[in-house]
Amino acid sequence: MKVSVVKDILGANEQIALENRRLFDEKGIFVLNVMAAPGAGKTSLIERTIEALRDWLRIGAMDGDVASSIDADRLARLGIPAVQINTGGACHLDANMVRRGLSSLSLEDIDLLFLENVGNLICPTGFELGEHLKVMISSTPEGDDKPYKYPGMFSAVDVLLLNKIDLMPLLDFDMDTFRRGVEALNPKVAFFPVSCKTGEGVQAWVEWLLAQRVRRLQVWHSALEAER
């Protein structure tokens, strides 16, 4: 009985995620679901990316947290539309929360939308939001063993950033151990070591992201051509 209830919830979420995705595609909004442990640097990476791209793209953000509007306030200070979603205890965003949050954004004015998930390495992977890309941030103080302990998220993502590389000299973080763990789970994942503090590595991430958006624009263009 319990199992079928869980299946129903996930099934309903997938349905709403598909509707979100259809809306994003219709409006031409490229959407990223940013996942990581608490404090890994999700908001910091979004801030860095906004700084790099705001002259070229219209960026928006939705921030999922159990409580407070600290993250949305941080991003709004950079002059972008940002909506805070308080999950009221839930450890992840779901598609319905995103759908509700979208009503607070002017979708015609957004090219790139960040969905900052709740800080958690397990739950967010179970809930599609309608995003085009799943982004994971791991950070050096969390340790080089994280791919081995939390294989689900490392397996599920399209791109992995290793943040806080500026702290490497202070830590026992072994990059080879980390990379081996990641490669065993997700050999094709795009990988960027970065420091949101110093800015090191951020340019490579931003260039990759722009290239992904161009690929998405081509998909949308081909779909329009096929409809004609």
Ligand X SMILES: Nc1nc2c(ncn2[C@@H]2O[C@H](COP(=O)(O)OP(=O)(O)OP(=O)(O)O)[C@@H](O)[C@H]2O)c(=O)[nH]1
Q: Given candidates 13, 20, 33, 43, which one binds Mg ion under the rule CB under 5 A?
A: 43
Kindly give the interhelix angle for 202-227 and 42-53, rounded to the nearest 10 degrees.
Answer: 70
Q: Of the candidates 80, 202, 87, which has an alpha carbon nearest to the alpha carbon of residue 137?
A: 202
Determine how many CB atoms are found less than 10 A away from the CB of residue 163.
28
Of 16 and 64, which has the nearer Cβ to ligand X?
A: 64
Cα Dmax for the chain: 58
Distance CA 213, CA 204 (A): 14
Query: Per CB under 5 A, does 42 bind Mg ion?
Result: yes
Smallest separation, CB 22 to Mg ion (Å)? 28
Is 132 among the residues that bind Mg ion (CB under 5 A)?
A: no
- Report if residue 163 touches Mg ion, rule: CB under 5 A: no
Residue 41 contact, options ligand X, Mg ion, none, Cβ 5-8 Å cut-off depending on partner type? ligand X
Question: Which residues are bridge partners to 190 per DSSP?
Answer: 159
Q: Which of 10, 191 has the CB closer to ligand X? A: 191
| 44 near Mg ion, judged by CB under 5 A | no
Q: Which residues bind ligand X (CB under 6 A)?
A: 36, 38-44, 71, 119, 163-164, 166-167, 195-197
